[in-house]
Structure 1
Amino acid sequence: MAQPHRKPVGDPGINPELILKTAAELIEIDGVKALTMRGLADRLGVAVTSIYWHIGGRDQLLDSLVERLLGELSNLPAEGDNAIERIASLARSQRRVLIERQHLLGIAHERDRTPQLFLPIQRALAAQLAELGVTGTDAALILRAVQVHVISSAVMQFSAVRGAKHVEKDPSLWSDALADRALLEALQAPTDYDAVFEYALDALMATLPAPEQGPHQRHRD
């Protein structure tokens, strides 16, 4: 079997960003336990020493992946014409990253970096809430509600995609006594997690004071 072409150490065709991107892809497919430096080198078509030269060993590689994720979560887009729209935008952006980087979150947790990962989004949310005049214990409660909603939704969606499948239309799961047939049919259909997320996010945003209400409407610090 032909061996993949191996670029020399320091070859400009290989760089830290490409190594980290490829490692993240392998982890997404096979999980972090299956990641080996040799397997990564074979995927890139380089010598293992080239990865060590650019990144370091496996621990340094995993630390670099966590730093990469931290950078991504520190620069989430907050789009919108007012604070409420920007809070919703931050929530959507965070959920997307959590779903796409689920395996990297596990690595961060093992390295006790989870608080650092979520601190930037918490600061961003707090700043937007302050713009609405929501501070103190009110802000803490709303901030945590948004975070719980985002994280729970991401975990449920990821579990639905990666977890064991079940038959949605198994008659034993439903009661024939349910009079609302439209409800029964809807509940038997696959869950639209995006729609559920947006519905609950809208409900959360509806509890916030309108931007034109002024900066001191909800201050209870």
Structure 2
Amino acid sequence: MRHERGAQGGRGVEAAGLSREAVLDTALRIVEARGLAALTMRGLAAELGVAATAIYWHVGNRDALIAALTDRILGDFGDLAPPSPDAREEPAERIVGIGRALRQRIAARPHAIALLHEQGRTAVMMRPAQRALAAEVAAAGLDGERAATVVRAVLHHVVGFVLLERAVERGPEPRPGPDEVWRDPDGVDPALARELGRPHDPDALFEVSLSALVRGLLAS
């Protein structure tokens, strides 16, 4: 009886217009909320209120579904560019803008990024960012090996920053905390020790560190 009700529900939703895009949208929400392990064909069907056969009809098996999700996520990175492009900005400012946008996208979708990594598509994901950075580095007058170094350094900085943030976020509460670690300066300037013991703004740190990196590389 349960199977019959599911099948009837599936036909009802299909008649109401269940589409491949709706299936992918729901599957992606599951992955982004709970990770790839939480995505099952039966669970996806339940989420949509249809029979599992309806899912197979629209997207194929789970491997085909994951391949389609991978393409969808990659497409979301295809338009990576500095927000509100302004021709009056210096290349360094636009490069920082690209890095900022990339950090925001990666940080906002950790499970989706993990899916791309598991599928061996990380390099493809980074290509739009590489192209956008390459264009700005060329506008700054760099080419060849020196230009490639700037592009790679920016990408490493952005990805490394996000990974560290993620590790801190998911890790246990530090014991002792920074305030306790730096309570005794032990030869370090007391003012510096006090600052190191206080919470910091990761957004501000990202901006100042990436800007310094970019301007230093462009000027060197």
**2:77 matched to 1:68?**
no
* Corresponding position: 1:207 with 2:211: no
* TM-score (structure 1 length as normaliser): 0.81
Task: Note the alpha carbon deviations across 1:8-61, whole angstroms, 9 max, x for none.
Answer: 263444333332232223223322122211112212222222222222221111
Change (3 A) 1:168 1:188: farther
Offset, 1:86? 2.4
Greater relative CO (CA pairs within 8 A, separation 6+)? 1
Cα distance in 2, alignment partners of residues 118 and 170 from structure 1: 34
Q: How does 1:3-42 map to 2 (within 5 A)?
A: 6-8=9-11, 10-42=14-46
Question: What is the TM-score of this pair, normalised by structure 2?
Answer: 0.81
Q: CA RMSD in A?
A: 2.8
Match runs of 1:106-145 below 5 Å: 106-145=114-153
Match of 1:196 in 2: 205
Change (3 A) 1:202 1:180: same
2:50 is paired with a residue whose SS is: coil
Partner of 1:173: 181
Count, aligned residues: 210
- 5+ long unaligned stretches in structure 1: 211-217
Structure 1 residue 132, shift from structure 2 partner = 1.5
State the distance in 2 between where 1:6 and 1:190 align. Answer: 52
- Residue 50 of structure 2: aligned partner: 46
Letter in 1 for 2:9: R
Q: What fraction of aligned residue pairs are identical, expressed as a percent?
A: 39
Q: Is the 8 A contact 1:10 1:53 kept in 2?
A: no
Q: Which runs of 5+ in 2 are unaligned?
A: none
For residue 191 of structure 1, report the CA deviation from its aligned partner. 4.0
Distance 1:139 1:12, change over 3 A: farther
